Structure 1
Amino acid sequence: MTIIRVGVDIAKSVFHVHGADRQGKTCWQGKYSRSKWLDAISKKVPANAEIGMEACASSHHWARELQKRGYRVRLIAAQFVKPYVKSNKNDRVDAEAICEAMSRPNMRFVTPKSVEQQDIQAMHRVREELIAQRTAKANQIRGLVGEYGIIAPVGIHQLRHNLPCWLEDTENGLTYPFRLLLSDLAEDLRYLDDRIQKLDEQILESVQHDPVAKHLMTLRGVGPLIASALIAALGDGKAFKKGRDFAASLGLRPNNTVQVARIDC
């Protein structure tokens, strides 16, 4: 029996595989260590077969490794695999469910990301976290100075402008120990600003030589940040049949305007 489809449940150490032939019959099951499972796939599975995995941590890395070996890779969102789990959830059953789910003709798949896409995505995620830390730091400063009778203005730009003034003002009621603390907090804020600015520069550099990003930035309201985020999420865009499908994947949809006519009886 020739294996045409393999479901793989990936993990940190042990990988479970489930292979099926053209009729959907099970013809291979096994578990392999992280260092040996790719070799097992290469020995048992023909190069034109499909390999399916859940779209989860490290799945894009393994997808690229399998593509280098000539396999067609299908990544499936975990919520689409769950209906095919037939018994108590475990790794072996998950591999079988993945193999079953990927055989469905109307199944929706996730396009594997390139290394470049993951680089951009990583920069955006770190930037988002740094912005959250900066917001938390600014709110902490506002709360602390408020206990000394100082009302911080709205906006982080105004806060940056006022911090040196508060530290230099000897008549605003701030004690010496608190001034030392506030100086350290101001330094933390500057550090976060520098980290965010550095990431902004890296993102800008990444889109300057990308023709797709340049094309996206011709749209009104689309700059380097949005263009790079779209590239990281979309790739070549072939996963979506039309723009409306992509908008729906972002949670954007037209408003429902239902008109109800009153009928007098």
Structure 2
Amino acid sequence: MQIDILGIDLAKRVFQLHGADRQGRTVYAAKVMRAAFLETVRESRPRIVAMEACGSAHHWARCFRAMGIEVRLISPQYVTPFVKTNKNDRNDAQAIVEAASRPTMNFVTVKSVEQQDIQAVHRVRELLVQQRTALINQARGLLAERGVSIAQTRQAFKREVPKIMGTCEGEVTSVCQAMVLEISQQIHALEERIKHAETWLKSFMKQSALCRKIAAIDGVGTITATAMVASVGEAKEFKNGRHLSAWLGLVPRQHSSGGKSQLRGISKRGDKCLRALLVHGARSVLRYAVGKTDVQSRWLQDLIARRGYNCAAVALANKNARVIQALLSSDMPYRPSAATR
């Protein structure tokens, strides 16, 4: 029995395995407990192991690669169309095999431990920022009920809260002040933890030549550079910059039929955090483009005049994504003059 592709439906304790030969015929099917999972796969000696790119998939992929087995990770959305009849573990494993057998299937690159470390710091930082925003909004809501209005920005909150804490005027009682003070202390603690996470990111930045190279691009800083490298690595799975830009959802969504091409708003596919970082970085560039005479600034000024500020920001984010793919997938250094020509 020679297994060409072994499809695995991952789980916490019980794994469903489905093996097929080169003709696609089922030659193996089993349900395996976690303790015997790796040994079972080693004994079956498959040529390829295919899995959905879900939780723990990159860990198991690294384990199988250490055994000398080729690994293919597939986005779950591309597996769903191959599930026949009812959804269960057996049918899911079979669908993974069929999806992995398609010659035009797009696969997910296996991440290294270092990449997942960077992603872990980004996820923790993102969570802390969300918690800080929630606390600020909670305090603003409490004060708004007492007739005190504070602007939405974090800087305005820091500026106005000390003034409110000084006196008990109107409906802002001592109890209300105590609650706002409690929230302010939690916000301060969160900001210290956010700074600690950003220190980790700066450390990753210093250690990675790829991060330093793409950080030279206007609109790409430490956070964006480390996030991109953590997600796409050397970006060699993308044929060109357009593919990376499309993967990030920065290209128009197409709805064409009958030979008529219809382009709509951007598709917003892929990782929304990466897309947001690139767009916000582009906005920072647009702020200082007014009055400049270099090639990129003139292009941006003309684009803003024709299509508006938001479209210009997305266009620059799209361009930066293409430049990032070219830099990550090659040894050439970043040349601003060539990038803005």
- Secondary structure at the aligned position of 1:36 is classed as helix
**2:168·2:174 contact (CA, 8 Å) conserved in 1?**
no
Number of residue equivalences: 256
Q: How many Å separate the matches in 2 of 1:92 and 1:254?
A: 37
- Secondary structure at the aligned position of 2:137 is classed as helix
Give CA-to-partner distance per residue, 1:57-97, whole Å, 9 cap, x none.
11111111111111111001111112221221111111111
Q: How many Å separate the matches in 1 of 2:14 and 2:168?
A: 64
**Please, which of 166, 187, 190 is the counterpart of residue 189 of structure 1?**
187
Deviation at 1:239, TM superposition (A): 1.5
**Please, which of 105, 109, 112 is the counterpart of residue 111 of structure 1?**
109
Q: How many Å separate the matches in 1 of 2:210 and 2:89?
A: 40
Deviation at 1:151, TM superposition (A): 2.0
Deviation at 1:150, TM superposition (A): 2.0
Which blocks of at least 5 consecutive residues in structure 1 are unaligned? 259-265
Match runs of 1:224-239 below 5 Å: 224-239=222-237
Is 1:126 paired with 2:124? yes
Deviation at 1:133, TM superposition (A): 1.5
Which blocks of at least 5 consecutive residues in structure 2 are unaligned? 255-260, 263-341
Q: How many Å separate the matches in 2 of 1:187 and 1:140?
A: 13
What letter matches 2:160 in structure 1?
N
**1:50·1:73 contact (CA, 8 Å) conserved in 2?**
yes
- Secondary structure at the aligned position of 2:7 is classed as strand
**1:130·1:196 contact (CA, 8 Å) conserved in 2?**
yes
Match runs of 1:1-265 below 5 Å: 1-46=1-46, 49-171=47-169, 173-253=171-251
Q: How many Å separate the matches in 2 of 1:154 and 1:82?
A: 42
What letter matches 2:31 in structure 1?
K
Task: Judging by fraction of residues, say which structure has more helix.
Answer: 2
- Secondary structure at the aligned position of 1:31 is classed as strand
Identity %: 42
TM-score, structure 2 as length reference: 0.72
TM-score, structure 1 as length reference: 0.91
What letter matches 1:41 in structure 2?
V
Between Structure 1 and Structure 2, whose CA radius of gyration is higher?
1
Deviation at 1:148, TM superposition (A): 2.4
Give CA-to-partner distance per residue, 1:237-264, whole Å, 9 cap, x none.
1211111011011111158897xxxxxx
- Secondary structure at the aligned position of 2:35 is classed as coil
The answer to which structure, 1 or 2, has the higher relative contact order (CA under 8 A, 6+ apart) is 1
**1:13·1:33 contact (CA, 8 Å) conserved in 2?**
yes
Q: How many Å separate the matches in 2 of 1:162 and 1:72?
A: 59
